């Protein structure tokens, strides 16, 4: 006697998905693809940043000006534009994007808050307040003098926001941290404006600095800020595995052997060094540290071992693209990179929020 072949019809769960649904590459494959594509895009945008501006320069002349100064085909004006102006501007954009993207990813992982960003949680406002205090109160105009005040303002703002957001039941929830960040940002902005209005020199410097600009820097500036950025990046990257544990909850992280106090200290120091340094140099630039980690997370997933390096590569691409667009759309004038970055980042963030709400 054979078993009756009749039975319940197969459900949708039992049926294998069609090939079209499984056509996208698996996440472990997409991660190196993202890194490779971002690296190639970054190189292309760096070359475009050197070639595009109020005066467009052919790419072959750009390369000759960089590798063979004094070549007969490269006149003195072209060489000066490429080597003395656009080269440093491009490097500053790469460093600023790298620092802001990495700081945003670390903050989102540390606080488990998808809205965490150096601009939204008061970190940039703290750096701005420290810089204005250095100029308006102590008369310090040198970068290496004001940068320490920017570090101090960043650290104080971070600690205050975290303490305020941790009070009450539930600890440091995303909503409480966001509200505390908004409150601290408005408070520091008002204090910054008050100090700037009482000192003409501080006001002039603040007005130029607050617009967020990548220009006006040279090799000496890059050499002075490089140690701070390298230290901050190394501290941030060493927290990757610990942030993966924290994403599972504090109790689980402790059970896995994580010393939460040391992890948070390393992460806060990393964010302070990265954000304080860049904000002191180029001014507040918003949305880069907020949007980029979300975009990278869609491809790499929540693993910070890939999320942090991915953010380091994608964020400078966004900032370079914003800077190039700012040079082109208003020729022969320019639009500040912070305005273009916000213009590009806001719609992307709105789309990400709508996508998240549609999944709920």
**How far, in Å, CA of 109 to CA of 308, rounded?**
10
Tens of pLDDT, residue by residue over 156-166, are: 888 888 788 77
Q: Among 46-55, 217-226, 303-312, which stretch is predicted with the lowest mean pLDDT?
A: 217-226
CB count within 10 Å of CB 61 equals 18
Give this prediction's pTM.
0.82
**How far, in Å, CA of 273 to CA of 225, rounded?**
10
**How far, in Å, CA of 350 to CA of 306, rounded?**
24
- What is the share, in percent, of the chain residues with pLDDT greater than 90? 24
Tens of pLDDT, residue by residue over 205-256, are: 777 777 777 887 888 888 888 999 999 999 999 999 999 998 888 788 888 8
Query: Higher model confidence: residue 35 or residue 9?
Result: 35
What pLDDT is stored for residue 246 in this prediction?
A: 87
Tens of pLDDT, residue by residue over 344-360, are: 888 877 877 777 666 65
Under 8 Å between Cβ of 160 and 133 = no
């Amino acid at each position: 006697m054979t078993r009756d072949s009749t039975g319940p019809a197969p459900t949708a769960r039992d049926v294998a998905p069609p090939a079209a649904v499984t056509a996208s590459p698996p996440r472990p494959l997409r991660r190196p693809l993202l890194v490779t594509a971002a690296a190639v895009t970054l190189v292309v945008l760096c070359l475009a940043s050197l070639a595009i501006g109020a005066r467009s320069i052919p790419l072959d002349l750009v390369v000759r000006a960089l590798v063979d100064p004094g070549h007969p085909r490269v006149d003195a004006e072209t060489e000066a534009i490429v080597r003395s102006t656009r080269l440093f501007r491009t490097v500053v954009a790469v460093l600023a994007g790298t620092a802001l993207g990495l700081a945003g990813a670390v903050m989102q992982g540390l606080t488990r808050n998808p809205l965490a960003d150096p601009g939204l949680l008061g970190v940039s406002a703290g750096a701005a307040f420290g810089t204005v205090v250095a100029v308006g109160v102590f008369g310090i105009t040198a970068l290496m003098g004001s940068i320490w005040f920017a570090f101090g303002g960043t650290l104080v703002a971070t600690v205050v926001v975290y303490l305020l957001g941790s009070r009450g039941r539930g600890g440091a929830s995303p909503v409480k941290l966001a509200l505390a960040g908004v409150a601290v940002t408005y408070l520091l902005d008002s204090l910054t404006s008050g100090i700037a209005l009482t000192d003409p020199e501080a006001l002039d410097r603040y007005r130029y600095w607050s617009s967020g600009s990548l220009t006006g820097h040279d090799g000496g500036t890059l050499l002075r800020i490089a140690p701070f950025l390298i230290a901050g990046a190394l501290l941030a990257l060493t927290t990757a595995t610990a942030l993966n544990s924290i994403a599972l909850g504090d109790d689980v992280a402790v059970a896995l052997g994580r010393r939460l106090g040391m992890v948070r200290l390393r992460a806060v120091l990393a964010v302070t060094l990265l954000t304080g340094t860049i904000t002191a140099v180029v001014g507040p630039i918003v949305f880069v540290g907020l949007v980029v980690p979300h975009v990278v997370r869609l491809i790499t997933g929540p693993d910070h071992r890939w999320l942090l390096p991915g953010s380091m590569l994608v964020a400078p691409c966004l900032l370079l693209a914003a800077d190039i667009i700012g040079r082109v759309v208003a020729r022969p004038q320019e639009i500040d990179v912070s305005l273009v970055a916000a213009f590009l980042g806001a719609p992307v963030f709105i789309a990400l929020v709508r996508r998240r709400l549609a999944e709920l």
